[in-house]
Structure 1
Amino acid sequence: MDLETLLSYHWSIMTPEFIILGFATLLSLLDLFMPRKINRRILGWLALTGILAATISVFTLLGSAPESILYDTFRLDSFAIAFKLLLLIGAALVMMLAVSYEPRERIDEYRGEFYYLFLAGLLGALIMSSSGDLITLFIGLELLSLSSYILAGIRKKHLPSNESAMKYVINGGISTAITLFGMSYVYGISGTTNLKEMAAFLPTITNNQHLYLLALAFFMILIGLSFKIAAAPFHMWAPDVYEGAPLPVTAFLSVVSKTAGFIIILRILLSIFFNVPDQTGTTSLMLSLQDYLAVIAGATMIIGNVIALRQKNIKRMFAYSSIAHAGYLLVAVTAMSPFLVETTWFYLGAYLFMTLGVFAIIQIVTASADSESINEFGGLYRRSPFLAVSMSILLLSLAGIPGTAGFIGKLNIFMGALATDPAHYILASLLIATTVISYIYYFGVMVQIFFRQAESTKKFPLSPVVGIVIIICVAATVILGIFPNIAFDFLHEQFSSFKDFIQ
């Protein structure tokens, strides 16, 4: 590529990525040369500034016509902008938790590492949302994954953190190998790694052997990505990693990493396999293999909710809750309704606020008690009515009670499962049944909060920063539950139902 061609690209569409990359580089240099006596929290505030600047830059891109650079490997379309907003908002809230995070053992000597590794992982997720090529998708995925492995073990003198990092690395490596193997089949058959070119070429395939290999590639990519989103039966790493990782990292994995996982699933499945004909030539390969997706979705909902009933550790319980919510989203992916992307976007946004609000409260309660037992929430209402009421609203939303964002999200998925022909009655029934099961463990926490005695009457030290996170999350959960059209009108006005997706 000559200099003239390089300068001719419209690089401004990569402004959010350049901002995050610049701040990550700046933080790494500052952490290297700053005297050790200077508190590294200032680097966290710089990182938050970078995230907010990137968020503003994304808003300035609203309404932009679809554009691609670097030979269609990087795309800016409505899909990319919409999901970048979710990633950056979630990252900003997690960073606010991270700045206030203070475990029992001192982590000042490597606190700076956390902030720029966090930005590196976020950069990978942003690249995935704009990827128009399998290579850039994979690079973004690995940048996110490698950063997450290190972040999970950032508490170097904490054995559970070390254990979680090791399990995460092993399972992540297996999933990466399987995903890459599946991608290699798609590349071998199509002769290109570009998603747009694949979408144009693959519908012309009539060779049954090639179709068989594409079906095999579909299963390998699906299995590999199922590890990433902790879908059953590939979820076994999640509870241990969520429990052992520092709480801000758990929040990052639960929200940002899971959102990125569904971004790559939608990018690959919709642009590649939805356009591939099956062996009969009457429907797409994706639709003919729906039953296998449905089995994973159903198993994920059942396993996540049932095993959560037995958990005594609050972080493990929410790990299984996260698995269950991945199952709910897989119902939407399986149904392939006309409003799949809108449904997924809204649910991930609602899940973002619900989950981060809960983890903010967990960070306050567990740090005070130095324990992650659910019993530590006993008598929370008497010790801090603000935390108790906030936690209750967020739990009700996670359970899908009407008047909350969680209810609207599940209702959209339920209606999407019934809006297709044929309708997915079994999946819709499982969605309702497993949601009812989830009431048991969510309400179990509320029983501890309101009806159990507190072991201590000492008030919780509430950081203003964490308090702001809780207020934002609770307000968004209630507002999106009562006025969901705020989000849907924004989607329709700014993104036109994602009609420019892979065009």
Structure 2
Amino acid sequence: MDWETLKLFQWEMMAPEFIIFGAAAILSVVDLFLPKKVNRNIIGWLALGSIALAFVALAQVLQAPTVSILFDTFYLDGFAKTFKVLLLIGTALVLLMAIGVKKEEGLEEYRGEFYYLLLTALLGAMFITSSADLITLFVGLELLSISSYILAGLKKKDKRSNESAMKYVINGGIASAILLFGLSYIYGLSGSTNLAEIRLALSSPMSENYTYLLGIAFFMVLVGVAFKIASVPFQMWAPDVYQGAPTPVAAFLSVVSKAAGFVLLIRLALSIFSATPSEGETGTLLIDAQVYLGVIAALTMIVGNLIAIRQRNVKRMLAYSSIGHAGYILVAFTTLAPFMYEAIWFYLFIYIFMTLGAFTVLQMVTETTKSEDISSFAGLYKKTPVLAVAMAVFLLSLAGIPGTAGFIGKLQILTNAFFAHPGHIILGTIMILTTVISYIYYFGVMIQMFFRPVDSKLSSVAVPTGPAVVVVVCVVATIWFGLDPSLATDIFHMTFTGFMDL
């Protein structure tokens, strides 16, 4: 590729990625040469500034037409823009949350590495949203995964952190290998790594001869993605990793990494398998797979919510809660309804605020009591009523109580399920029942905060500036989007121009 060809590309469309990449590279060098006595939070603020710049750069192209560069390997379409908004907001809030972490969290010695590794993980997730080629998709996934592996084991002197990182690496490596094997089948049958060319090749009548091989490929891709979103039966790693990892890392995995996993699923499934013919009456492989996707969604909701009831460790409880919420989002994907994209995007959007808010309150309580047990929340309302009320708002939203953003998100998914053709009545009913079951463990934390005597270890909880901002933003967003979700949906409709983007 010569210089003249390079100059023809619209590189400004990759400005957000260039900003994040440049910031990660520069901050890694700064951290290397910065004296040890200098507080590494300055690197955190610089990383936060780079995300703000990337968000401004993204805002400049929100209404720009779809652009394809680098020989159709990088797309800046409505689909990519809307999900990049989620990724940038989620990572910015995690950074603010981490800046307030005390030494007891185990990040002090490696705080600088945490900040720029978070940026590299974000960069990988952003590449997944814009990738239109199997190679760039996998590179983005691995950049996100490898950064996440390191972040999970960042407390190097903590045995639980070491164990969580080891489990994450082993399980993640196996899942990536299976996903790559499935992608190799797709490449072998289509002769291309470009998603558009693959779709064209596999939608031809000749591909009916390879139906079983394509079914195997779809199954392997689903295994790899199921690990990333922590759905049954590949959810085993999540509780251990969340418990052993620093709280900001667990929050990042629960929100940003999960969102990237769903982006990967949508890109591959809708771009490739929705046009792949099958031997069933429906005519496409993806529609034939709806039954299997529905079973996975149902089991994910059931397992996540039932096991969460038995958890005393609040971080493990939130991990199983995250598994249950992955099942809810899978319900929206399984229906393949006309408003599926809107339901998935909106749920992931509001999930950022209610989950990060809960993790932030958990972090502050844990730093005070030195315990993640549910009893450490006992009497929180009497000692720090503002935090108790904020945590109650997040738990009510996660439970889907009317008046919160979580209720609107679940309502959109249920609407898609019941009014899809054919109506997924069983799947919607399971979602309602598991949502009711989730009240048990969410309200269990609220009972501790409001109706139990004050824990002897619980003094007045200190609220640093960064986490305080996160809690305020998350409370406002959780209530606002619960009462008036139109702002979020307007952003979605402004940038997502229809299925042709894919």
TM-score tier after normalising by the smaller chain length: over 0.9
Shift in Å at residue 219 of structure 1? 0.6
Shift in Å at residue 182 of structure 1? 0.6
Equivalent pair of 1:103/1:367 in contact (CA under 8 Å): no
In the alignment, what sits opposite 2:391? 391
In the alignment, what sits opposite 1:467? 468
Alignment of 1:38-437 (within 5 A): 38-104=38-104, 107-280=107-280, 282-437=282-437
Shift in Å at residue 103 of structure 1? 3.8
Check 1:280–1:378 CA distance in 2 against 1; reply closer, same or farther (3 A cut).
Answer: closer
Q: Which amino acid aligns with 2:475?
A: V
Count matched residues: 501
Of the structure 1 ranges 450-459 and 402-411, higher mean CA displacement relative to structure 2 is found in 450-459
Shift in Å at residue 281 of structure 1? 6.5
Q: Percent identity?
A: 56
Equivalent pair of 2:201/2:207 in contact (CA under 8 Å): no
Q: Which amino acid aligns with 1:148?
A: S
Q: Which amino acid aligns with 1:122?
A: L
- In structure 2, C-alpha distance between the alignment counterparts of 1:318 and 1:486, rounded to whole Å: 28
Q: Which deviations, in whole Å up to 9, do the C-alpha atoms of 1:236-260 show, x marking residues without a partner?
A: 0000000000000000000000000
In the alignment, what sits opposite 2:482? 481
- In structure 1, C-alpha distance between the alignment counterparts of 2:106 and 2:91, rounded to whole Å: 24
Equivalent pair of 1:153/1:161 in contact (CA under 8 Å): yes
- In structure 2, C-alpha distance between the alignment counterparts of 1:348 and 1:419, rounded to whole Å: 21
- In structure 2, C-alpha distance between the alignment counterparts of 1:396 and 1:114, rounded to whole Å: 31
- In structure 1, C-alpha distance between the alignment counterparts of 2:500 and 2:92, rounded to whole Å: 28
Shift in Å at residue 494 of structure 1? 3.2
Q: Which amino acid aligns with 1:36?
A: K
Q: Which amino acid aligns with 2:472?
A: I
Check 1:280–1:240 CA distance in 2 against 1; reply closer, same or farther (3 A cut).
Answer: closer
Equivalent pair of 2:400/2:406 in contact (CA under 8 Å): yes
- In structure 1, C-alpha distance between the alignment counterparts of 2:267 and 2:225, rounded to whole Å: 12
SS, match of residue 272 in structure 1: helix
Q: Which amino acid aligns with 2:258?
A: K
In the alignment, what sits opposite 1:27? 27
Equivalent pair of 1:152/1:161 in contact (CA under 8 Å): yes
Shift in Å at residue 173 of structure 1? 0.4
- In structure 1, C-alpha distance between the alignment counterparts of 2:103 and 2:441, rounded to whole Å: 27
- In structure 2, C-alpha distance between the alignment counterparts of 1:302 and 1:183, rounded to whole Å: 30
* Structure 2 portions without partners, runs of 5+: none
- In structure 2, C-alpha distance between the alignment counterparts of 1:48 and 1:490, rounded to whole Å: 23
Shift in Å at residue 488 of structure 1? 1.3
TM-score when normalising by structure 1: 0.98
SS, match of residue 376 in structure 1: helix
Runs of at least 4 residues of structure 1 off by over 4 A?
Answer: none
Q: Which amino acid aligns with 1:48?
A: L
TM-score when normalising by structure 2: 0.98
Shift in Å at residue 413 of structure 1? 0.6
- In structure 1, C-alpha distance between the alignment counterparts of 2:208 and 2:189, rounded to whole Å: 12
- In structure 2, C-alpha distance between the alignment counterparts of 1:103 and 1:252, rounded to whole Å: 19
- In structure 2, C-alpha distance between the alignment counterparts of 1:490 and 1:224, rounded to whole Å: 30
SS, match of residue 138 in structure 1: helix
Equivalent pair of 2:394/2:478 in contact (CA under 8 Å): yes
Equivalent pair of 2:117/2:147 in contact (CA under 8 Å): yes
Q: Which deviations, in whole Å up to 9, do the C-alpha atoms of 1:306-335 show, x marking residues without a partner?
A: 000000000000000000000000001110
Equivalent pair of 2:208/2:277 in contact (CA under 8 Å): no
- In structure 1, C-alpha distance between the alignment counterparts of 2:207 and 2:130, rounded to whole Å: 32
Shift in Å at residue 106 of structure 1? 5.5
SS, match of residue 402 in structure 2: coil
SS, match of residue 75 in structure 2: strand
Equivalent pair of 1:68/1:75 in contact (CA under 8 Å): yes
Q: Which deviations, in whole Å up to 9, do the C-alpha atoms of 1:248-303 show, x marking residues without a partner?
A: 00000000000000000000000000111111474211001111101100000000
- In structure 2, C-alpha distance between the alignment counterparts of 1:194 and 1:281, rounded to whole Å: 28
Of the structure 1 ranges 317-326 and 460-469, higher mean CA displacement relative to structure 2 is found in 460-469
Check 1:195–1:394 CA distance in 2 against 1; reply closer, same or farther (3 A cut).
Answer: same
- In structure 2, C-alpha distance between the alignment counterparts of 1:166 and 1:250, rounded to whole Å: 15
* Structure 1 portions without partners, runs of 5+: none
In the alignment, what sits opposite 1:36? 36
Of the structure 1 ranges 191-200 and 20-29, higher mean CA displacement relative to structure 2 is found in 191-200
- In structure 2, C-alpha distance between the alignment counterparts of 1:169 and 1:469, rounded to whole Å: 30
Q: Which deviations, in whole Å up to 9, do the C-alpha atoms of 1:148-179 show, x marking residues without a partner?
A: 00000001111111111000000000100110
Shift in Å at residue 466 of structure 1? 0.9
- In structure 1, C-alpha distance between the alignment counterparts of 2:105 and 2:437, rounded to whole Å: 37
Q: Which deviations, in whole Å up to 9, do the C-alpha atoms of 1:424-469 show, x marking residues without a partner?
A: 1110000000000000000000000100011236211111221110
CA RMSD of aligned residues (A): 1.1
SS, match of residue 80 in structure 2: helix
- In structure 2, C-alpha distance between the alignment counterparts of 1:5 and 1:189, rounded to whole Å: 31
- In structure 1, C-alpha distance between the alignment counterparts of 2:300 and 2:282, rounded to whole Å: 30
- In structure 1, C-alpha distance between the alignment counterparts of 2:37 and 2:427, rounded to whole Å: 57
Check 1:106–1:306 CA distance in 2 against 1; reply closer, same or farther (3 A cut).
Answer: closer
